[in-house]
Amino acid sequence: MGQTQSDEGRAPPSHEKLTKELANRFAEKCFTSLELISFKDVFRSLADHEQNVRYLKEDTIARFLEVPDGVGASAVIFQMMSYVGAFPFLQDAPAVLGLEQMVMVITIMTERYRIVLGKGAADRRKLLFRSLAVYDRNLSEVPSDKGVARAAGDYVVEDDGVGKREMGVAIDEVIDGDEDKMDECEVDGLVLAAFESLEYTGALEHKAGTTPVLRDAVIPADNFRRLLLLLLFVAPLGAQDSLSAYSDHVSGAELGNLKRVADCVLRAFIDVERSPGIKFRRFNTIIRALMPSIFDGLTPLVEHFLFSKNLDFHRHKDGPVAPPKTSQPVLQDTGTIMNSAVLSQLSFFLPGSSLFRRTRLLYSGGDDGFSMGSFESKVFNWRAPTLLLVSGTRLPDEPGYKSTGAEYSFLTTLPSKRFSRGSADKEGRLTFGLYVSQPWKHTHRECFGGEDTYLFQLEPFHDVFPSSASNKDYVSFTKPSAATSHAGISVGCSPPQGSQAYRRSNVVTLGAVSLVLDGSFEFGCFTNNYTSGGGAFHTSVARNFDFQDRFEVTNLEVWGCGGDKEAKHQAEHWEWEAREAEARRRINLGTGDIEADRALLEMAGLIGTNRSGGSMG
């Protein structure tokens, strides 16, 4: 109260003075003394000088951070920095990136501001959205289909009595939680907190009208796609890691993988064929639900400004320069489904600390055989979290198409009622996955898995289905036998019933949100029964409609997440299995001599007689 009275009799402080005061507070509270010295040295060495003003240019920042040309994100990241650098007077953006402005950029983009302001992630998301958005009322208007329903369940236009509205992946439809109910005309929460921290209540008069309202703000789709490429690229970045160490990720096939993954992630935000940009409600909802860690890679990237190569305290003055640190491969093994871009995509919602440089290929259907026995021998002894990835091609669903053979047999085990497919992509390529922290085991009366289990889709649409605490039917593994009704892997379904239930029905009971693979790993089915409200897993936040994808499996992989201890235990088990198999082979065949063994098999009538086996006749 006293501060308000003292403000009335004098002119308010200038923006420059308040900015300098806040920057000094951030620097003092959020940086160590060594980081601050290093930052000033980096800025001094990079800054251009004009009319007594030192500032950083776009190409200077791009070169220093080693942003590769292949992702085309230099202009986007500079736009973000120029906006954030104007904090807390965002109406003055874009800012000239001087010393104080770069302090704002580093503090906010690395979330160090929490030490001073103590605000939550929602405020930062709103600020980052504004830093990427353009304000154009014509651009922000979502076109209408005039009542024409979209194909393949991608969008459905329905009349609710008030007028036709978009359902499904509507650009600005989904919003939930009190956190999102913000007055779009108010100043961002971080700005208010900054003014309060300066103890200048007169600055709070900037509540309304200082920045364009969010309803007119849109992130252009192409700009966001470029940013996604950069975020995928920097996701595995560690503290003080150089981006040049990952240059192979933005060339050749790896760059193609990055672009394909970026397109899948972008589809969760927008249908680029229908709308030119992403609105705030969609942006906020999707990031909260599907990719809360999407911006984590910006922290080590921006923190490069805090480490000066001229201040290397790990060597004596005039001594030899330390050799550059060799970077451990992000992905130690090669897979058909998994690659470095997919690993980065997974880190958007799973802890990167358990993924990068810590995943090992345990099972590959293409190499180890598409059988449950091979799956069991390769996966069951891994005592740490695992990632199951399955890819396939969507089964035809056109009118008049009739399935035959194994496909027909699989489809007869599914309920006759089905939903439209989950996306309208033309290629029909699908990739689903499962993250489970508990070791795999045979399912008898109950499923395994915990509340940290995730079911997800990676392609062609990025989607995540977290587990529910109210239903424990997470994962089941059931091998073929006379005592079980259905063999295979089921996620989100109740355990297969015994032989009595099998006599009553040959149809699988699909969970509300579920993934089913048959016992031969030939076919699969993913279901999102949005109307039901969910079961063991929550329904899709990104697609608010019922959908189902039936597909033929092309690849199946399981990756172990863990350290050297788990890998050593698994390797020892595989070595033991190999020794046991060799011992059994020698016992069965005698000497181990190939010619003698062949003669023995011929005498038994097992080979060389044009028969499939021996005879009792």
* Cross-strand pairs, 524: 517, 551
Domain shared by 289 and 350, yes or no: no
Q: Model confidence at 411, in pLDDT bands (50, 70, 90)?
A: very high
Q: pLDDT (tens digit, 9 = 90+) per residue, 238-266?
A: 888 888 888 888 888 999 999 999 999 99
Is the domain of 345 the same as that of 302?
A: no
What's the pLDDT at 592?
A: 57
From the list 276, 278, 286, 270, the residue with the least C-alpha distance to 175 is 286
162 lies in a domain?
Answer: yes
- Which of 262, 291, 306 is the last residue in one of the domains? 306
Beta strands in 21-173 (DSSP E): 48-50, 53-55, 134-135, 155-159, 164-168
**The pLDDT of residue 564 is above 70:** no
In a domain, 595, yes or no: no
Reported as a single tens digit per residue, the pLDDT across 9-55 is 556 788 899 999 999 999 999 999 999 999 999 999 999 999 889 99
In a domain, 229, yes or no: yes
pLDDT at position 484 is: 73
Residues 212 and 288 in one domain: yes
Confidence of residue 607 (pLDDT cuts 50, 70, 90): low
Does a structural domain hold residue 149?
yes
Which pLDDT value is given to residue 213? 74
How far does the chain reach from its first CA to its final CA, in angstroms?
106
- Tell whether 30 and 91 lie within a shared domain: yes
The residues facing 134 across adjacent strands are 218
226 and 357 assigned to the same domain = no
Question: pLDDT class for 434, splitting at 50, 70, 90?
Answer: very high
Q: Which amino acid is located at 356 in the chain?
A: F
Residue at 361 is within a domain:
yes
Residue 296 and residue 389 in one domain: no
- For the record, the structure tokens of 477 come out as 């593994």
Over residues 607-615, the mean pLDDT reads: 46
For residues 455 and 390, is the Cβ–Cβ distance under 8 A? no
> What domain count does the chain have?
2
Q: What is the pLDDT of residues 281-326, one digit of tens each?
A: 999 999 999 999 999 999 999 999 999 988 765 554 455 555 445 5
Amino acid at position 397, single letter? D
431 contacts 337 by C-beta, under 8 angstroms: yes
Q: Please indicate, yes or no, if residue 253 is contained in any of the structural domains.
A: yes
Same domain for 409 and 550, yes or no, is yes
Predicted local confidence at residue 149, as pLDDT: 32
Q: What distance in Å separates the CA atoms of residue 170 and residue 275, rounded to the nearest whole number?
A: 10
Does the residue 99 lie in any domain? Answer: yes
Give the tokens for residue 286.
């999707």
Instruction: Give the per-residue pLDDT at 144.
Output: 41
Q: Is residue 439 within 8 Å of residue 450, measured between CB atoms?
A: no
Mean pLDDT computed over 545-562 = 95
376 contacts 558 by C-beta, under 8 angstroms: no
Q: What's the pLDDT score for residue 428?
A: 82
Last residue of a domain, one of 523, 538, 562: 562
Q: Is the pTM of this model over 0.85?
A: no
Residue 421 near residue 548, CB atoms below 8 Å = yes
Indicate the residue among 306, 322, 356 that finishes a domain: 306
Assigned domain for 569 exists: no
How many CB atoms within 10 Å of residue 541? 19
Q: How many CA atoms lie within 13 A of 261 on its CB side?
A: 29
Identify whether residues 389 and 462 lie together within a single domain. yes
Give me 300's structure tokens: 């080590």
Note whether 251 and 182 are same-domain residues.
yes
Q: For 204-233, what is the mean pLDDT?
A: 80
Both tokens of 368, joined, read 């180890």
Which range of residues forms the domain containing residue 68? 2-306
- Is residue 259 domain-shared with residue 352, that is, in the same domain? no
Structure-block tokens of residue 333? 């093994």
3-state helix/strand/coil string of 518-535: ECCCCEEEEEECHHHCCC
Residues 346 and 300 in one domain: no
Tokens of 552: 């033929």
Q: Are 109 and 234 part of one and the same domain?
A: yes
Q: What is residue 318's predicted lDDT score, i.e. its pLDDT?
A: 53
Q: Look at the alpha carbons of 280, 285, 291, 292 in this order and tell me if their dihedral is positive or negative.
A: positive
The confidence band for 606, taking pLDDT boundaries of 50, 70 and 90, is low
* Cβ proximity of 421 and 154 under 8 Å: no
In the numeric block, the tokens 């305290």 are attached to 313
